[in-house]
Chain A
Amino acid sequence: MSMTDPKENLMLLDPGMSLTLRPMRYPLFFDRFRDAIKNTWTVEEVDLHSDLKDLSKLSPAERHLVGRLVAFFATGDTIVANNLVLNLYEHLNAPEARLYLSRQLFEEAVHVQFYLNLLDTYVPDEQERFAAFAAVENIPSIRRKADFCFRWIDSLGELRRLETREDRRAFLLNLICFAACIEGLFFYGAFAYVYFLRSRGLLNGLASGTNWVFRDESMHMAFAFDVVDVVRREEPGLFDEELAGQVREMLAEAVECEAQFAEDLLGHGVPGMSIADMRAYLQHVADRRLAQLGLPPMYGSKNPFAFMELQDVQELANFFERRVSAYQVGVTGSVSFDEDF
């Protein structure tokens, strides 16, 4: 194992504010930072206008679904951003990791702005809009999810330095909670509703913005799982069976939280998306998170939503209809005439 710095023997979760970028201990984190920059997008690029027409076409049951969904979005990314600042940035002691976290924080801010813009567009009535932003207080199914998040933010609240093995395990649980349960399950659940609507040709603006959000969230999750891997390498005994048990318990609770959210969203009957199918989907996603952590599956559920396959395959947007989301920023190089193409 030579994952630690040969000179300082510094490990990723050792307390402190390392400033040393050369030699770089975790070039993978730096690569993730650079990749993230290439995915820059702005809220102004998302055209939400066509959604307004769709909103008027929705059935009352679908309108209820959309209303609840945007209410969740209104606060979801802010919660993640808070945890990032309050917990992750402090304890991941490598400047290249903090570079990535800074970038992630920016992305969360863009997401918050996107959903702010979305709500302002979707909910013209000011009182209703205020109610949507207060969803955490008023809507029980969202409140329960938020409570789950807050509990895990607070779990690290008192820890300013990770001194003991127990501290580091607490940190890992917090990280895994945010990566696997919140970004990896709550958001994945929410994305499923958006993709479901889009597969019906509805709310393309929401979907195209969500596509970009989803792309960012995929990176966030990948980074978090990279961190877990590094920590496991650096301290092999840390992620033991007890911790695995806690992770399973946490995921199971997250699935329950999200399933009761689904009962609220789908309670009025939405053809093509039944509560039972949504639960199976969430269990399927939870199993995937376990697999990413090298743990055996808990549920063995299959993905019932064929429309989720759509987001796995390339988009070929017709520019008459939609802005193509597949371009990169930060392309470099200089003019040359003998390159192969």
Chain B
Amino acid sequence: MTVTGDRTTDMAPADGVVPAPRRAQMRVRKRNGTSEPVDVNKIVRAVERWADDLADVDPLRVATKTISGLYDGATTAELDRLSIQTAAEMIGEEPQYSRLAARLLSGYIGREVRGQGVASFSQAIERGHAEGLIGDATAAFVSANASVLDDAIDSAGDLRFEYFGLRTVYDRYLLRHPSTRLVVETPQYWLLRVACGLAETAEEAVGFYRLMSSLAYLPSSPTLFNSGTRHTQMSSCYLVDSPRDELGSIYERYAQIARLSKFAGGIGVSWSRVRSRGALIRGTNGHSNGIVPWLRTLDASVAAVNQGGRRKGAACVYLETWHPDIEEFLELRDNTGEDARRTHNLNLANWIPDEFMRRVEADEMWSLFDPDEVPELPDLWGEAFDTAYRDAERAGRYVRQVKARDLYGRMMRTLAQTGNGWMTFKDAANRLCNQAAEPSNVVHLSNLCTEIIEVSSDAETAVCNLGSVNLAAHVADGGIDWERLRGTVRTAVTFLDRVIDINYYPSEQAAASNPRWRPVGLGVMGLQDVFFALRLPFDAPEARELSTRIAEEIYLTALETSAGLAERFGAHPAYEQTWAARGRLQHDLQGTPGTQAERWTALRARIAVSGLRNSLLIAIAPTATIASIAGCYECIEPQVSNLFKRETLSGEFLQINNALVAELKARGLWNEQVRSAIKQADGSVQGIAELPEQVRRVFRTAWELPQRALIDMAAARSPYIDQSQSLNLFLSAPTIEKLSSMYLYAWKSGLKTTYYLRSRPATRIQQATVPVVNSSAEALACSLENPESCEACQ
């Protein structure tokens, strides 16, 4: 047993230099087969080359820690990878290591690409084309413009990545050689390839590339995966109407969904038209088993389709609240009970008519109808629905009745226990949808992430392609750089619109819908970064005003751009069926006047003449992956923690709030004690007394914010969101009381949709890297169960 008395215990301030005794003789094998002793100084020099502007990076520590993890006889490639990993593991104590790790990785990727004899963008495209990866059109375009495009590559572009972002790009986005699996493009080649896949001229391609390379805007993953390739499926979302209540239609839907899913689309599908358990099947004189067995099959089918190996297929099933199988539907994700009635891969959403919410509020009964008995309900909304529903109820055509509040409580329980069973509101969605101006055009469901609101039917599957503005990149001089924001939106809308024509549609129903309506979904990410930069608490009225102002600017500019496209190419074919054709834009439907009166007036005049190229323009998607590529916080969300890990297919990464670290550094508070305190408090800084109260308010986490403020902010921007928003809500310890109050408020605020309910585990894993508190020194907590044994009160 060795007892070393001279060292401090536990996680003492990480002075870091791990002694590497007896390791001087360790050797590495070089690529040419020879071996040489590991040289600390060589690693130090390699790190220094990338750390010029990173003042708080210590190259010697990276080198010594790297060697400490090495084994004798490792290859130089292993050494390279280990140095990247080592730097990445130090991000939690100093965020600048994220940049360092990214640059080391960038160097590594560069060597991988050059090692295959690829020295320029055009060569990479040529090689990719020869290997069957790049599409003919893009190959020809690049070959015709080779020198201009090769010159456009920004060699400093990779310096803008954080490690998480670049790692994700390397692991999942860069094209790989079909047999060697080596990447055949660098990150900058990749972005230029995406641009070339959508551009008509070299100039246009370079402009779009520069915008993406600056990380001020990124299209959604399917576009980033597939633009310029042989399979140009670039849409994110498909909204599939419910199968008709018959076998053939149900199996057609499985096949359609599998095809849509194969090329990286996320699926929303309604199941409201399919008859419920116990309903008569006339053909066989038997009784239906209801929707659950069908959804089990869907579950298996979705899991079977793996999107080119890059991510698993994903689908969300929508069910209207009057369907008699609603309770079993709500249990599909439970992890207890009969597994034969569970679907572990499907997401679930409630498609809720206002009538239900009114009855919940008034504590009335709710009738459940079988769709083969009352088949008209899915196609009605608003007053028409209310009338049909009440008539059917009066006629006694319901299967059974339940207390509306009991069902509502059941919905809340599903949300609390699974996060699933999203609350989306059918009437608001239809009332405020530009496509639904005529009663025959009905929104039947939202999509996988509840931000898309488009009409669908048996013959038309709604499609949307998405992209998000990184608001963090538009902060300047203590505010938003509005001119830059407008420029970004103009480019973004132009290319989102372009996708519609170039896109490969995996199903005829999708191909039937998209060219008629030409919807796109421009969203945002990095709103939290903006608030941090401007030191605005998320729930401050100024934050809400700014967020609304940003939403108006983006919607207005997007409409202007779409009007411009309509002037050149004509309005979208179904334009006459929209509210816009009747002079009513989203904020008109919501009864809110815009603040930029002159621009709105000018815009209306243009629309009145030429119409709009796109029926829908704005949708705030979750941006999970592209936000991590851009290195900003997700969409419109508050931060979840000041210190958290992100799990992705690329492994786990520690992420830290850079703005907070800067603040702490400026105050001389960025030290091991404070860091450890933040970790112990699950990423909260509210217990750090040295931070002034107003600073702590800025750095609250989603768990520490009043959720009312998130709903209010979403409602305030909604006049400028013509589709919807993926609005997550956060309650660390949800109760039915809190949830039922919260979602009633969300409905009353007029939101079209909400998304996940996020909550936290009941207990947690014991922390392994924070100091131990000796529990025997703590008094037993006071407990009403047993007051006489409580020491604290005696």
A residues whose Cβ falls under 8 Å from a Cβ of B: 2-3, 6, 23-28, 30-31, 35-36, 38-42, 44-45, 50, 53, 188, 195, 198-202, 204, 207, 211, 214-215, 218-219, 221-222, 225-226, 228-229, 232, 248, 252, 266, 269-274, 276-277, 284-285, 287-288, 291-294, 297-304, 306-341
Tell which of B205-213, B245-253, B509-517, B738-746 binds the partner.
B738-746
Please determine whether A331 and B10 come into contact, CB atoms closer than 8 angstroms. Answer: no
B314 engages A319 (CB within 8 Å): yes
Q: How far is the CA of A297 from the CA of B2 in the complex (A)?
A: 11
6 closest Cβ contacts across the A-B interface? A201-B651, A38-B762, A333-B736, A306-B89, A269-B71, A218-B766
B311 at the interface (CB under 8 A from A): yes
Q: Are B314 and A272 in contact (CB under 8 A)?
A: no
Once the chains bind, are B624 and A320 in contact (CB under 8 Å)?
Answer: yes
Q: Which residue of the partner chain, among B309, B413, B646, B769, contacts A309 with CB atoms under 8 Å? A: B769
Q: Is the CB of B92 within 8 A of A188?
A: no
- Most chain B Cβ neighbours within 10 Å, of A199, A200, A301: A199
Could you tell me if A271 and B78 are in contact, using CB atoms closer than 8 angstroms? Answer: yes
Q: Is B373 an interface residue (CB 8 A)?
A: no
A79 to chain B, nearest CB (A): 20
B90 CB–A CB distance under 8 Å: yes
A299 near B734: Cβ-Cβ < 8 Å: no
B650 at the interface (CB under 8 A from A): yes
Most B CB atoms within 10 A — which of A24, A198, A323, A341?
Answer: A341
Complex: chain A residue closest to B679, CB-CB:
A312
Contact B311 A269 (CB under 8 A): no
Tell me if B760 is interfacial: C-beta within 8 Å of chain A. yes
Stretch at the interface among B190-198, B474-482, B600-608, B771-779: B771-779
Q: Decide: A288 and B10 in contact? CB cutoff 8 A.
A: yes
Minimal beta-carbon separation of B786 from chain A (angstroms):
5
- Chain B 629-655 interface 0/1 with A at a Cβ cutoff of 8 Å (1 = within): 000000000001101111111111110
**In-complex Cβ contact of A335 among B309, B412, B783 (8 A):** B412
Q: Assuming A35-B762, A201-B171, what are 10 further A-B pairs, CB within 8 angstroms?
A: A2-B788, A40-B336, A219-B763, A271-B81, A301-B7, A316-B640, A316-B647, A327-B761, A331-B416, A335-B737
Residue pair A310, B765 in contact (C-beta under 8 Å): no
A-facing mask of B727-754, CB < 8 A → 1, else 0?
0000101111111111011000000000
User: What distance in Å separates the Cβ of A54 from its nearest Cβ neighbour in chain B?
Assistant: 10
CB A100 to nearest CB in B, in angstroms, measures 12
Could you give 7 example pairs across A and B, Cβ below 8 Å? Answer: A42-B335, A207-B652, A271-B70, A300-B4, A310-B654, A314-B760, A318-B646
Q: Are A300 and B735 in contact (CB under 8 A)?
A: no
The verdict on A314 contacting B682 (CB below 8 Å), with A218-B765, A285-B768, A320-B311 known, is: yes
Residues of A contacting B682 with CB < 8 Å?
Answer: 313-314
A41 to B, closest residue via Cβ? B335
| Contact size range, B | 35 or more
In the complex, what distance in Å separates the CA atom of A293 from the CA atom of B708? 44
Complex: A329 Cα to B731 Cα, angstroms? 14
B9 near A297 with CB under 8 A, answer yes
On whether the beta carbons of B786 and A25 are closer than 8 Å, the reply is yes
Residues of chain B with a CB closer than 8 A to A336's CB: 736-737, 740-741
Question: Known: A218-B763, A313-B654. Is A25-B789 also a contact (CB below 8 A)?
Answer: yes
Choose from A25, A225, A299, A325 the contact partner of B4 (Cβ within 8 Å).
A299
Would you call A310 and B645 a contact (CB within 8 A)?
yes
| Least CB separation from B20: chain A residue | A276
| Chain B hits for A204, CB < 8 A | 647, 649, 651
The proximity string for B residues 332-368 relative to A, scoring 1 for CB distances below 8 Å and 0 otherwise, is 0001100100101001000000000000110000000
Q: Which residue of A lies closest to B89 (CB)?
A: A306
B794 interface residue per 8 A CB criterion: yes
Partner of B763, one of A35, A211, A304, A332: A35
* Complex: A310 Cα to B647 Cα, angstroms: 10
A340 touches B738 (CB 8 A): yes
B314 and A320 form a contact (CB under 8 A): yes
Q: Does the CB pair A44–B339 fall under 8 Å? A: yes
Check B777–A294 contact: CB distance below 8 A.
yes
Distance in Å: Cβ of B291 to nearest Cβ of chain A: 21
| B417, CB-defined interface residue at 8 Å | yes
Residues 689-748 of B contacting A (Cβ, < 8 Å): 706-708, 731, 733-742, 744-745
Distance A108 CA – B276 CA, assembled complex (angstroms): 39
B644 contacts across to A, CB distance below 8 A: 313-316
CA distance A276 to B72 in the complex (A): 13
Which of B10, B71, B733 meets A291, CB within 8 Å? Answer: B10
Chain B nearest CB from A221 CB (Å) reads 7
Q: Report the separation of the CA atoms of residues A315 and B467 in the bound assembly, to the nearest whole angstrom.
A: 25
- Residue of A with least CB distance to B656: A313
A residues less than 8 Å from B791 (CB atoms): 2
Q: Find out whether the CB atom of A39 lies under 8 angstroms from the CB atom of B74.
A: no
Contact B786 A27 (CB under 8 A): yes
- Whether, in the assembled complex, B589 has its beta carbon less than 8 Å from a beta carbon of chain A, the answer is no
Task: Decide: B761 and A322 in contact? CB cutoff 8 A.
Answer: no
A317 engages B89 (CB within 8 Å): no
Whether B409 and A335, one on each chain, are in contact in the complex, defined by CB atoms closer than 8 angstroms, is: yes
Q: Is the CB of A277 within 8 A of B417?
A: no
Collect the chain A residues with CB atoms within 8 Å of residue B761's CB: 38-39, 215, 325-328
A308 to B196, CA, bound (A): 42
Chain A residues near B431 (CB-CB < 8 A): none
Q: Which residue in A26, A201, A215, A252 is a CB contact (below 8 Å) of B764?
A: A215
A229, B768: Cβ atoms closer than 8 Å: no
Compute how far the CA of A197 lies from the CA of B715 in the bound complex, rounded to whole angstroms: 43
CB distance from B249 to the nearest CB of A (A): 28
Any A CB within 8 A of the CB of B683: yes
Chain B residues closer than 8 Å to A199, beta-carbon distance? 85, 89, 651-652
Min C-beta distance of B477 to chain A, whole Å: 31
Does B82 sit within 8 A of A, measured CB to CB? yes
In the complex, chain A residues whose CB is within 8 Å of the CB of B7: 300-302
- Whether the pair B736, A28 counts as a contact (CB closer than 8 A) is no
B73 interfacial contact with A, CB 8 Å:
yes
Question: Could you tell me which residues of chain B, from 42 to 97, have a CB within 8 Å of some CB in chain A?
Answer: 68-74, 78-79, 81-82, 85-86, 89-90, 92
**CB atoms of A341 and B741 under 8 A apart:** yes
CA gap between A330 and B1 in the complex, in Å: 47
- Return B168 CB to nearest CB of chain A, in Å: 10
The CA of A341 and the CA of B352, in the complex, are separated in Å by 22
Evaluate whether A337 and B361 lie within 8 angstroms (CB atoms) in the complex, with A215-B764, A326-B759 already known: yes
Expressed in whole angstroms, the Cα–Cα distance for A195 and B89 within the complex equals: 13
Chain B contacts for A319, CB-based, 8 A: 314, 347, 756
User: B405–A335 contact, CB under 8 A?
Assistant: yes
* Contacting pair A273 B3 (CB below 8 A): no
Closest Cβ neighbor of A30 among chain B residues: B785
A323 to B420, CA, bound (A): 11
